[in-house]
Amino acid sequence: MNLTLKIWRQADATSAGAMHTYPLEGVSEDMSFLEMLDLLNEKLVTHGEEPVAFDSDCREGICGMCSLMINGQAHGPEVTTTCQLHMRSFSDGDTITIEPWRADPFPVVKDLIVDRSAFDRIIQNGGYISANTGSAPEANSVPAPRDKAMRAFNVATCIGCGACVAACPNGSASLFLGAKITHLGELPQGQPERYSRVSTMVAQHDHEGFGGCTNIGECAAACPKEIPLDVISQLNKDLRTAIKQGH
């Protein structure tokens, strides 16, 4: 198929950016979205032009590196990561607009790459869990009820991609934060630091400049791992308890 791509180009964090238009021919519907961009970059390099910078690593939907706003939707029209999106979701003759995540705490590094280290700092501020070091304990020595273990597992699938932030009109990272709080808060191993953890992580979230949640729900709609909106309720409940306990 033949496409017209409108892509955000920005030389570095301090330069002004702009949309650039590129026609691209010979795209197979079996290509992933990133393979389509690889094809564009091959053509740009062949013509002596600067390739488009974009993030990727695993290309299997597990690392969270790929992060593109495609036609105004985080990760594009399917509930999946950009690397798992395939060109069969588009049609011959389409114009596709490709932008980086737009959020103040995710500054553009170059073209489509943003700096998401704010997420790392939120995780770092969560600190540690009290667990003995040494060889792995026998799995059944710390029983966890099945429903709690399943919920912890489901929210642990958050890959930290940042689509929830990009989709949110407030630029809130509440879905990401709620996933991390719920993951450890459901398990016995996460209990000793449960409330101090929520307090320090929320403080870092706000310090980074992420906005507040106003229950719009775009985050959950955009999330490639289908993290449910109710993790934000869990986050607020745990924060209320943390405040009562003086954390």
d(CA 141, CA 185): 18
Task: For the CB of residue 203, give the shortest distance to ligand SF4 in the complex, in Å.
Answer: 19
Match 């790929």 to its residue by tokens: 66
Residue 113: exposed, middle, or buried by beta-carbon count in 10 A (0-12, 13-18, 19+)? Answer: buried
Smallest separation (angstroms) from ligand FES to the CB of 163: 11
Q: Which does 81 bind (CB under 5 to 8 A by kind): ligand FES, ligand SF4, none?
A: ligand FES
Residue 221: alpha-carbon gap to chain centroid: 13
Residue 66 binds which entry of ligand SF4, ligand FES, none, CB below 5-8 Å type-dependent: ligand FES
| DSSP letters for 19-43 | EEEEEE----TTSBHHHHHHHHHHH
Establish if 66 lies at the interface with ligand FES (CB under 6 A): yes
Q: Is 225 in the site for ligand SF4 (CB under 6 A)?
A: yes
Residue 61 engages ligand SF4 in binding (rule: CB under 6 A) = no
Closer residue to ligand SF4, CB minimum distance, 5 or 176: 176
Regarding 184 and contact with ligand SF4 (CB under 6 A), the answer is no
Residues in 21-60 at the binding interface with ligand FES, rule: CB under 6 A:
56-59
83 binds ligand FES (CB under 6 A): yes
Q: Which of 118, 163, 168, 198 binds ligand SF4 (CB under 6 A)?
A: 163
Residue 162 binds to ligand FES (criterion: CB under 6 A):
no
The region of 77-85, 96-104, 142-150, 210-218 touching ligand FES under the rule CB under 6 A is: 77-85
Packing angle, helices 117-125 and 194-207, rounded to 10? 150
- Residues in Cβ contact with 28 at an 8 Å cutoff, skipping those fewer than 6 apart: 1, 87
- Distance in Å, CB of 125 to ligand SF4, minimum: 16
110 sits near ligand SF4 (criterion: CB under 6 A): no
Q: Tokens representing 196?
A: 């101090």
Start-to-end Cα distance in the chain:
57
Task: Please tell me whether residue 142 adopts helix, strand or coil conformation.
Answer: coil
Give CA 88 to chain center in angstroms: 23
Footprint of ligand SF4 (CB under 6 A): 158-164, 175-176, 179, 222-225, 227
Footprint of ligand FES (CB under 6 A): 56-59, 61-66, 81-83, 159
